[in-house]
Amino acid sequence: MQDANARFPFMARILILRQFLWGAAFYGTYVLLTKFFLEELNYSEADTIMMMGAFGAVGPVFSAVGGFVADRYIGSFRAVYIGYTTYTIGFFLLGLGASDLNVPLSIFSIALIGYARGLSATSPTVLLGNSYSETNREAFQQGLTVNYSINNLGSFSSKYLFPFLVAFLAYQGNFYIASGLMSLTLVLFVIFRKQFAAVGNDIDRRPVDLKTWVCFVVGSAAMLGLVFWVFSNLDAGKYLLYALGACAIMYFIYEITRATAAYKYKMCGVLITIFILIVFYFYYGQMLTSMNIYAINLMGDQLLGFIPIRPESNAAFNPLWCFILGAPVIYIYAWLERKGFSPTIPTKFAAAFVFSAMAFALLGLSTHFVGDDGKISADWILWVHFFQSLAELIVGALGVGFIFEMVPRYLSAFAIGLRSVALSLSGILAAVISTRIALPKDQVLTQEIIEGVYTSYFYNLAILAVVMAFVTLLLSKVIAKLIRKGEELEQQTSGKDVATDH
């Protein structure tokens, strides 16, 4: 039996291993898709940027729906199990689609992957949170950070290796590897089925009736159809994603009106935090769109002068830095607390915007250092990712933990999904804006074009990040007041209950 008061309970360790396998499979596929659509399926830069933005947005925006379904109907463990089965099938079909350059099958495959992400994205955090006892929440926060770092280790490994493996296995071989990695997670779910159900929600520990399963299957088919339509109709599909994100936020506002007085204040703090996250993840979305296209077009093939790297592997710098910086960030937080300084999570978000500003200012500066070979050194992109990864590390795991602690347990999966909704809305917005730097096929990149297209774009993003740092500092004071008021009401209610018992 697991020790829920341990620093890393047994099921937490299993879930962290699962995170490594998922990170390797999902992000290894993700890093290949840009060039796969550009070169193999012959998409334009603008259409490829929109496809990557939609692919990054679809799973997160549907994750609020997946969280709601897990909370109310099928349970968190079942949501993960079904979702990961769908992932396995989706990666395998993507391999089949790549083998004969079948565009409809390729789009259907990534639609399956998007559906799987939407259904299962929030529930692993719920399972991880339930692996710890109610009195062991500090260890849970540490577990979240370790889980995030391990995810980045898996992500880095595949993002670096998969582009090199294309030369030997072609795209389909890499997609089959991703399918195999996901199948290993299914083995874990079968072996530890009872333990997973024990750390799920109440629904995981009782049978689901036939009517619910029928509704789930019909709803899943409708959701999959919508995802496929979005990928096939990107110009109109983005408005559907905007609408779904807005609906999820409106439902959360509705739940605020039904919550206890204490939770009303806390959930209003979460709502403001969601706004901050939407703006922050706009910068995260740039890494997968404008920054990625810039690197593919201009990045050299050697890092630090001797390490070989493929341009599309630039995305591997992000998880590499996140993995390296995870422990130092935890140490700095602990050092600050010993010194009596414990900044709020929204205040940490403000610091993240400062690092994002530094990242994009450096990216703009890099456009002035194009070599005789028409490339910039990969070292520029490495250090750009250092600052942006530091910002992401501050926000990523802590944002999830903050939301989990601020909402009632019956809304936990859905509320965590709201963080993903922020990721989705900002991701599709990042893609739409990034199309401004899309170039025609076979465009010759002169210094004038580079500076005219890329330089001002990246510098403007840096300026916006500085502005958001100040705005977030102001909002952090509002959030702190709301949380303080909610905690005071909780203490008053608790005191009344104790007095009544006596």
Among 329, 7, 20, 335, CA closest to 140: 7
pLDDT for 397: 54
Alpha helices in 70-136 (DSSP H): 76-99, 103-120, 123-131
Quote the CA–CA distance of 274 and 116 in Å, as a whole number. Answer: 23
Q: Are 60 and 427 in contact (CB under 8 A)?
A: yes
The SS3 of residue 299 is strand
pLDDT for 494: 64
Give the tokens for residue 481: 């007041």
What domains can be seen in the chain, in order of their start residue?
10-501 (1.20.1250.20)
For tokens 């990242």, the residue is 359
Burial pattern 187-218, b for ≥16 Cβ within 10 A else e, equals: ebbeebeebbbbbbbebbeeeeeeeeeeebee
Provide the residue count of the chain. Answer: 502
Q: Are 64 and 414 in contact (CB under 8 A)?
A: yes
Among 62, 118, 63, 61, CA closest to 87: 118
**149: Cβ contacts below 8 Å, ≥ 6 apart:** 322, 323, 326, 327
With residue 427 as reference, give the H or E element that holds it.
helix 412-434
Q: Is the dihedral of CA 48, 53, 54, 59 positive or negative?
A: positive
Apex CA 366: angle with CA 362 and CA 370, to 5°?
175
pLDDT for 387: 92
Among 281, 210, 285, CA closest to 468: 281
**54: Cβ contacts below 8 Å, ≥ 6 apart:** 230, 231, 234, 237, 238, 241, 428, 431
Answering whether pTM is above 0.85, one says no
Q: How far is CA 61 from the centre of its chain?
A: 11
Q: How many CB atoms lie within 10 A of CB 292?
A: 24
For tokens 């703006």, the residue is 279
Quote the CA–CA distance of 331 and 333 in Å, as a whole number. Answer: 5
Q: Are 111 and 223 in contact (CB under 8 A)?
A: no
Q: What is the pLDDT along the chain (502 residues), one digit of tens a residue?
A: 446 566 677 888 888 888 999 999 999 998 899 889 988 888 888 888 888 888 877 777 777 788 888 888 888 888 889 999 999 999 999 999 999 899 899 999 999 998 898 888 878 878 887 787 766 666 777 777 788 778 888 888 898 899 889 888 888 999 999 999 999 999 998 898 888 888 877 888 888 889 989 999 999 999 888 888 888 887 787 788 788 778 888 888 888 888 787 778 888 888 888 888 888 888 878 887 888 888 888 888 888 878 888 888 888 888 888 778 877 877 777 777 777 776 666 677 888 899 999 999 999 999 888 888 788 898 999 999 899 888 887 776 556 667 777 777 777 767 766 777 777 788 888 888 888 888 777 777 778 888 888 888 899 999 999 999 988 888 888 888 888 887 787 777 765 554 555 5
pLDDT for 39: 84
With residue 391 as reference, give the H or E element that holds it.
helix 378-406
pLDDT for 135: 66
pLDDT for 42: 86
